[in-house]
Amino acid sequence: MSEDRAVVGAPSVSAPPAPDPRRWALLAVVVTAQLLVVLDSTVINIALPSAQQALHISDADRQWGVTAYTLTFGGLLLLGGRIADYVGRKRVFLIGLAGFAVASALSGAATTAWMLFAGRGLQGVFGALLAPAALSLITITFTEPGERAKAFGIFGAVNGAGAAVGALVGGLLTEYASWRWCLFFNVPVTVIAFAFAVPNMRESRVEGRARYDIAGALLGTVGLITLVYGFTTAANEGWSSGRTLGLIGCALVLLVAFVVVETRVRTPLLPLRVVLDRDRGVAYLTSVLLGIGSMGMFLFMMYYVQQTLGYSALKAGVVFLPFPICVVVTATYTANLLPRFGARALMTTGAALAAVAVLTLALLEPDSSYFGLILPVLVVMSVGMGLVYTPMNNVALSGIEYADAGVASALVNTSQQIGGSLGVALLNTVFTTSVADYLDSSGSTPADMTDATMHGYHVVFVVSAVLLALSALVVGAFVRALPKVPRTTSA
């Protein structure tokens, strides 16, 4: 395939629009909103044991405190992106902010388990409106390649650091206030962001009659939710159970039907041209694999430091603090490296570093040193992730048609959320299966249980590392070497 479009200095059909003088204020609002969306995927993790006790949630149902958010968020992002394109990106962004605040208040005030789950689900719905509108606003506002790279660098740093920041915030609020404040704190932040967004954003939308692919939205969302539920079921019933196989088979049928529908409808939810571009397709696949690998690391490291090392909720959150700091520094600096080295070299190097770091976690022992092993792993992994996020976002969104900006932006977030959801379900199944197999072969004494748990951690980290290494191989093999020049198309 030709690389002519990567040549710098190619003549443009029309002069680019003048830069928006409020673009940096807009960026501050957008990254604040994105931080809330990403942070709410993980902030509840530390608070969930307290919420479970307070609301008398069963062990079987407690997972919905997390998955009610991630599944509705990830499953509806594509539809949210298309709505933002036609209704207006500023309008949808503001609706998303307001709804997210209301849903957060509802979740924090929950008096029953299902009130909490409903509130978390509503957070996901409004997050699915908010996130794609936010990223598409960056795409169409920053038209100069250098500034766009910096904007993506800042956005990528916030996106990458959100999980660790969520753990820290969750630990602080749970230990010194209440688990409810892990949800209530969204309200004042969204109010401030709303107040700054109104004067600093200008409206943009796709002209023409709005048509929404409802069949595609239902097939895609239900298919993804069914697939995640199938992986979750496998953790309890095994991969060979009829229910597990039935759910996974049903999910695959629904997702194939989704692809067929997208090739036939007049206004598809996901125009296949967005993902069939070689570079963009690899960027989205990389995002899924990173979501699986990173969520596996965070989830099981959180279990390890609290249950094996005995850390408090706050201390467990502090353990991960170096991660967001290093991600921010690396992702910001990567914006300057991108024009020189290109996306392929940076993404391959970063994914490989992350894979090596996670693989090193297979050396963990029940009394491993934080400074001797855990901290170095967090630093190396954060540098690797920082090297990936900025070029990945740039590749995924550069050269996109103006009419597809919202759906392409939504797909960046969708791939990360689906990767994270699949990672939690898949790796939890790997963990429980590994522990059970170990106990079957050695007995069930307390000492054996400790060894079995560590064995489960080791297997999970090896699987995560393999997936991260796979992303490095895919990037190295298929992403073109030269950086793309983004199209600058006015509204």
Q: Would you say 331 and 168 are in contact if contact means Cβ atoms under 8 Å apart?
A: no
> Is the domain of 450 the same as that of 379?
yes
Residue where one domain finishes, among candidates 250, 268, 286 = 268
Do 263 and 289 sit in the same domain of this protein? no
Number of other CB atoms surrounding residue 95 within 10 Å = 18
Q: Report if residue 126 sits inside a domain.
A: yes
Q: Are 383 and 324 in contact (CB under 8 A)?
A: no
CATH number at residue 107: 1.20.1250.20
Amino acid at 259: V
Residue 13: predicted pLDDT: 42
161 & 237 share domain: no
In a domain, 13, yes or no: no
Domain boundary among 226, 245, 268: 268
Regarding whether 261 and 315 lie in a shared domain, the answer is no
State how many domains the chain has.
Answer: 2
Is 490 part of any domain? Answer: no
pLDDT at residue 298, rounded to an integer? 78
Q: Does 472 lie in the same domain as 404? A: yes
Per-residue DSSP letter, 2: -
What is the four-CA torsion angle of 146, 382, 416, 235, rounded to 10 degrees?
Answer: 170
Claim to verify: residue 374 and residue 227 sit in the same structural domain:
no
Distance in Å from the first CA to the final CA of the chain: 30
> What are the tokens at 101?
């605040």
- pLDDT, position 7: 40
Q: Do both 291 and 400 map to the same domain?
A: yes
Give the list of residues 6+ apart from residue 357 with CB closer than 8 angstroms, or none. Answer: 377, 378, 380, 381, 384
What domain range includes position 111? 20-203+269-478
Identify whether residues 379 and 316 lie together within a single domain. Answer: yes
> Is 11 inside a domain boundary?
no
User: Which amino acid, 452?
Assistant: A
Q: What is the pLDDT of residue 166?
A: 79
pLDDT per residue of the chain (491 residues) written in tens, 0 to 9: 444 444 444 444 444 556 666 778 888 888 888 888 878 877 877 777 778 788 987 655 676 787 778 878 877 877 887 788 778 888 899 999 999 999 999 999 999 988 998 999 899 999 988 887 877 787 777 777 777 778 877 877 776 667 667 777 888 888 888 889 989 989 998 999 898 888 877 777 766 666 777 788 788 878 877 887 787 777 777 788 888 899 999 999 999 999 999 888 887 878 888 888 888 888 888 888 888 887 777 778 877 887 788 888 788 778 878 887 888 788 888 888 888 888 889 999 999 999 999 999 999 999 899 999 999 999 999 899 889 988 888 888 777 776 676 677 767 777 877 787 777 777 877 888 888 888 877 665 656 788 888 999 999 999 999 999 999 999 988 887 554 444 444 43
Type and span of the H or E element at 167? helix 145-176
The CA-CA-CA angle for residues 315, 319, 322, to 5°, reads 140
With respect to residue 63, please indicate whether it lies within any of the assigned structural domains.
yes
Q: Is the domain of 262 the same as that of 276?
A: no
Does residue 4 lie in a domain region? no
Is residue 208 situated within a structural domain? no
- Rounded distance, CA 340 to CA 481, Å? 11
Same domain, 220 and 364: no
The whole-model pTM stands at 0.73
CA-CA distance, 331 to 163, in Å (whole number)? 15
Rounded distance between C-alpha atoms, residue 482 and residue 340, angstroms:
9
Instruction: Answer positive or negative: Cα dihedral of 148, 88, 262, 424.
Output: positive
Q: Are residues 322 and 399 in the same domain?
A: yes
- Whether residue 61 lies inside any domain: the answer is yes
Does 299 share its domain with 162? Answer: yes
